[in-house]
C-alpha cells in the first residue's frame, strides 16, 4: 500500500459526477479499464475501449486533468432483436489528474484493436548545475 500512496496519478475523486458527459450525451456512460504506468521519461495510459473508432475518441489535457471521452455507436441494425445481452454500448469516460508536468507537444496516442495507448512525455526537469569552487 505504501507504493499506492506514492502514486502520482490519482483518479479524479468526483468521477461519479460527470457534468459535461451527462449533460451533452444521452445513454449510459462507462469507465474503461486502464493500465497506467510511468518511467523516468513518460507516463503511459492503456485503456480498453472496444468499438471505439479513432474519430470518435477525444483526449483532452488541460490544467493537468486528463480526460478520455469516446462514443460508441451501436452496430446493430434496427431489425435485429435481442437474444442475449451482456454489454451495452455508450460513452466511455474517465478522468485523471496528473501531478507531473506533461510536454504537450510530445503526446502520442495510438488506437489499435480497441485499445488506446497514450504516451505522455514528462517535461525535462532542470538539470542540477554543479558549481565548482575555485581555489586561489
Partner 1 sequence: MLVRRVWPSRPTFDSPFADFDSVRREMLRLLDSVAGDTFGEVGAGVFPPMNITQDNDNFYLRAEVPGIKPNELSISAIRNRLSLAGNREIQREHERVSYHRRERAEGSFNRTVTLPTEINADKVDAKYTDGILTLTLPKAEETKPRQIKVRP
The nearest distance, CB 116 to partner 1, in angstroms, is 9
For β-strands 108-112 and 57-62, DSSP reports them as unpaired
Q: Which residue has the cell 526537469?
A: 125
Q: Which residues pair with 122 in a beta bridge?
A: 102
Extract the C-alpha cell encoding 32.
474503461
**In terms of CB distance, is 46 or 107 closer to partner 1?**
46
**In terms of CB distance, is 29 or 102 closer to partner 1?**
29
Extract the C-alpha cell encoding 111.
488506437
The nearest distance, CB 19 to partner 1, in angstroms, is 12
SS3 category, 9: strand
Extract the C-alpha cell encoding 42.
513518460
Please report, as ranges, the residues that interact with partner 1 according to CB under 8 A. Answer: 1, 3-4, 7-9, 11, 15-16, 18, 22, 28-39, 44, 46, 48-53, 75-77, 79-88, 93, 111, 113-115
24-27 own/partner pairs: CB under 8 Å, 24+ apart: 25/71, 25/91, 27/90, 27/91
**In terms of CB distance, is 50 or 135 closer to partner 1?**
50
The nearest distance, CB 25 to partner 1, in angstroms, is 12
**In terms of CB distance, is 74 or 104 closer to partner 1?**
74
The nearest distance, CB 56 to partner 1, in angstroms, is 10
Amino acid at each position: 500500500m505504501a507504493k499506492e500512496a506514492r502514486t502520482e496519478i490519482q483518479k479524479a475523486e468526483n468521477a461519479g459526477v460527470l457534468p459535461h458527459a451527462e449533460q451533452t450525451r444521452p445513454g449510459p456512460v462507462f469507465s474503461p479499464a486502464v493500465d497506467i504506468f510511468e518511467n523516468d521519461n513518460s507516463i503511459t495510459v492503456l485503456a480498453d475501449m472496444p468499438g471505439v473508432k479513432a474519430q470518435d475518441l477525444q483526449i483532452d489535457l488541460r490544467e493537468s486533468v486528463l480526460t478520455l471521452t469516446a462514443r460508441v455507436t451501436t452496430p446493430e441494425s434496427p431489425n435485429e432483436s435481442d437474444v442475449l445481452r451482456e454489454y451495452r454500448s455508450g460513452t466511455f469516460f474517465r478522468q485523471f489528474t496528473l501531478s507531473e508536468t506533461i510536454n504537450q507537444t510530445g503526446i502520442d496516442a495510438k488506437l489499435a484493436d480497441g485499445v488506446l495507448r497514450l504516451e505522455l512525455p514528462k517535461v525535462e526537469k532542470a538539470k542540477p548545475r554543479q558549481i565548482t569552487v575555485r581555489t586561489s
